[in-house]
């Protein structure tokens, strides 16, 4: 009889363990939620993609788009429970909508570290652009050094300073990480026109398609003399327009300025050539939180 009791006891114990295994209460999935403002519509060719860093490696959290009102197409993502629980950092990138590499692109726009169940997202995090732009500053002049005509000097802009009497660096900007470039712009009759992209402030930018045949100064800028875009006429008068320095994803998602515009300067209606003018800071960048 004792042997029978022992046998039943062992069977009962085995059933108890089996019951525990079959009713494991540990969830398989955990929601990751985003609350982000200030993003813009990337068009049809690019999307936003989130990533969590788990044990030093990126794990995708999913892709989403943003409409013209800044609303995310999706802000909650069901992910592996352990991955979300163990994640140290969230990073938001910009990715091609078709033919994308499974790894994150170099275009990191927002990032933040988890502290408990949430984290604050900004461009300032080292895994994003890594600088707050609090010291960004800019100067520019109006001039057209790429032709021999002296009657159209208000039809060119160069991001340099003549305060010392000689051309000098006019922009004070942080060095950008991979995946980003600066771009100069002038708003002419309501239309933004690029002066070219650059990564260094003491050399010429990568565009001279509107300039004349002579060499320009070794600084970012452009003369608007030739090949005017549709709806505009060159030469023009930039007085009354707006000068802008933007931060652009590379490869670029649009021919218009991106949402990151750290420097903006209204060109006075009475602006004169070869006079040094200041740009102001425009530090309204996207921000948000990630929760798990």
Q: What is the 3-class SS of 145-173, one letter each residue?
A: CCCCCCCCHHHEEECEECCCCCCEECEEC
pLDDT value, residue 24: 62
Residue-wise pLDDT for 149-197, tens only, equals 999 999 999 999 999 999 999 999 999 999 999 999 999 999 999 999 9
CA pair distance 124, 206, nearest whole angstrom: 27
What are the DSSP calls for 19-51, one per residue? HHHHT----SEEEEEEEEES-----SSEEEEEE
Alpha-carbon Rg of the chain, whole angstroms?
27
Tokens representing 266 are 């209204």
How far CA 145 is from CA of 186, 222, 242, 251, in Å, comes to: 17, 9, 20, 30
Minimal CA–CA distance to 186: which of 127, 114, 263, 82? 263
* Contact (CB, 8 A) for 190 and 242: no
Residue-wise pLDDT for 204-218, tens only, equals 999 999 999 999 999
Three-state DSSP state, 211: coil
pLDDT value, residue 23: 56
Element (H, E) at 281: strand 277-281
Three-state DSSP state, 142: strand
Residue-wise pLDDT for 30-73, tens only, equals 999 999 999 999 999 999 999 999 999 999 999 999 999 999 99
Residue carrying structure tokens 């860093």? 53
pLDDT higher than threshold 50 for residue 16: no
pLDDT higher than threshold 70 for residue 143: yes
How many H helices and E strands in the chain? 2, 19
Q: Is the pTM of this model over 0.85?
A: yes
CA pair distance 1, 3, nearest whole angstrom: 5
User: Is the Cα dihedral 8, 11, 12, 13 positive or negative?
Assistant: positive
Going by pLDDT thresholds of 50, 70 and 90, the confidence category of residue 8 is: very low
Looking at every residue in the chain, the average pLDDT score rounds to: 92
| Domain residue ranges in the chain | 29-130, 137-281
């Amino acid at each position: 009889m004792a042997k029978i009791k022992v046998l039943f006891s062992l069977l009962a114990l085995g059933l108890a363990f089996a019951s525990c295994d079959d009713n494991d209460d540990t969830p398989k999935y955990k929601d990751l939620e985003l609350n982000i403002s200030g993003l813009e519509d990337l068009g049809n060719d690019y999307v936003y993609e989130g990533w969590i860093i788990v044990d030093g490696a990126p794990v995708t959290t999913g892709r989403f788009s943003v409409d013209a009102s800044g609303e995310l197409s999706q802000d909650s993502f069901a992910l592996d429970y352990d991955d979300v629980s163990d994640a140290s950092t969230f990073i938001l990138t910009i990715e091609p909508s078709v033919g994308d590499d499974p790894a994150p692109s170099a275009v990191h726009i927002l990032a933040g570290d988890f502290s408990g169940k949430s984290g604050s997202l900004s461009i300032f995090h080292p895994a994003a652009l890594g600088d707050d732009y609090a010291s960004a500053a800019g100067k520019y002049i109006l001039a057209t050094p790429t032709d021999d005509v002296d009657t159209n000097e208000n039809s060119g802009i160069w991001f340099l300073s003549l305060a010392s009497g000689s051309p000098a660096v006019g922009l004070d900007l942080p060095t950008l990480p991979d995946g980003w470039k600066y771009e100069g712009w002038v708003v002419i009759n309501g239309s933004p026109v690029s002066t070219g992209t650059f990564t260094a402030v003491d050399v010429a930018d990568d565009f001279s398609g509107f300039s004349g045949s002579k060499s320009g100064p070794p600084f970012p800028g452009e003369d608007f003399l030739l090949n005017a875009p549709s709806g505009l006429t060159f030469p023009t008068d930039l007085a009354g327009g707006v000068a802008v320095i933007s931060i652009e994803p590379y490869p670029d998602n649009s021919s218009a300025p991106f949402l990151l515009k750290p420097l903006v300067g209204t060109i006075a209606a009475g602006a004169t050539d070869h006079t040094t003018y200041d740009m102001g800071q425009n530090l309204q960048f996207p921000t948000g939180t990630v929760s798990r």
